[in-house]
Amino acid sequence: MRLIQYLEEGQPRAALVESDEAVRPIRLDGGTYALARLAIASGQSLQAVIDVRLDDDLVDYQQLIDEKRLLPPLTHPDPAHCLVTGTGLTHLGSADTRSAMHAKTQVSETELTDSMRMFKLGVDGGKPAPGETGAQPEWFYKGDGACVVPPEAEIPVPPFAEDAGEEPELAGLYVIGDDGRPWRVGYAIGNEFSDHVTERFNYLWLAHSKLRACSFGPELLVGELPDHLEGVSRIVRGGETVWEKPFLTGEANMAHSLANLEHHHFKYSGFRRSGDVHVHFFGTATLSFADGIQTRDGDRFEISLPTFGRALRNPLRFETETPPIDVKSL
């Protein structure tokens, strides 16, 4: 089952994806968030809550895109109560680089960089046995719901950015129940979007490199995630593809299990606040930046995974003015 959200008379409306051409609205005010909250409160599955609320009429999917009415597939009514976070160094990499990555882990511990040491921790202990706790992953914060850009909308690049690079990833989407339990609503394609020049200058600047806009969707996959997923990430400039590369994800291509990544995020009580939404990016191994690509104003990112329906597409908009930072003393 795949869901989208779109604007209907200024309010979020969830819909079931029937095909690449049509979606069926779900008659419950409040969109996907309201559906999830109702399912949690009633003890029903999301499928059961949706089945009795499906509209008789279909809506044209492409028309929603053309009218710029698509929303991220899960939002909170108050963006401050949506936390956007992620984990890095989680993927083994594509087949042609995996052996080289493993070869690097064979050198002595004293020769390992901090990043490679973190990666090796995941390879050795990121998929613990049931009942055991695995290695902690690298973790980062991107912002609250205000940093999330809807599918098809422009991703802003701040004037101080050194780079504007895509990161094709899976994102887990969660709602916290009234008792503080995290509930996974589903998964979506994500573009985590980072400043790789800043990040690579010094890994202690990772936090700076991540405080950028991002996007996920357009579709939310409800149910079990396949262990092996193959997608394509591309950059389109002036109607022509200037870079394209396949990417692998899913647990079969990761050093960490998804359960381990979720455990180390939600173990903190501050991330189990009743009613909050969490968007958690699971990492990637494929970047255009690694191939020397420099993005430009108007470039469009396209990230596709067939299991998730339509591709996630976002053009870039380079901003030229920085608002004045004028801190005053009270």
Please list the ranges in the chain whose pLDDT falls under 50: 94-108
Name 204's Cβ contacts closer than 8 Å, sequence gap at least 6: none
Asked whether the bond before 218 is cis by omega within 30 degrees of 0, the reply is yes
CA angle 167, 70, 3 (to 5 degrees): 80
Kindly state the DSSP code that residue 77 receives in the 8-state scheme.
S
Q: Quick one: CA dihedral 108, 112, 116, 118, positive or negative?
A: positive
The confidence score (pLDDT) of residue 96 equals 36
Q: Is the dihedral of CA 149, 154, 159, 165 positive or negative?
A: positive
Sign of the C-alpha dihedral computed for residues 289, 293, 295 and 298 taken in this order = negative
Residue 33 pairs in a beta bridge with: none
Residue whose pair of structure tokens reads 């709602």 in the numeric block: 175
| Distance separating alpha carbons of residues 129 and 134, to the nearest angstrom | 8
DSSP-assigned states of every residue in 6-33: EEETTEEEEEEE-SSSEEEEB--TTHHH
> What pLDDT is stored for residue 110 in this prediction?
55
Cα separation, 211 vs 11, in Å, equals: 27
pLDDT score, position 205: 93
Residue 125: what are its φ and ψ, rounded to 5°? -140, 20
- What is the predicted pLDDT for the residue at 92? 83
Q: How far apart are CA 93 and CA 290, in angstroms?
A: 13
**Per-residue DSSP letter, 114:** H
Report how far residue 330's alpha carbon sits from residue 327's, in angstroms, rounded to the nearest whole number. Answer: 10
Query: If you count them, how many residues does the chain have?
Result: 330
* Alpha helix positions (H), the chain: 31-42, 46-51, 61-66, 95-104, 114-125, 196-201, 206-210, 258-266
C-alpha triplet 76, 77, 79: angle, nearest 5°: 65
pLDDT at residue number 112: 67
Query: How far, in Å, CA of 221 to CA of 308, rounded?
Result: 6
pTM for this model (two decimals): 0.93
How do strand 214-221 and strand 240-249 relate by DSSP bridges?
Answer: unpaired
Parallel, antiparallel or unpaired: strands 148-149 and 2-8? unpaired
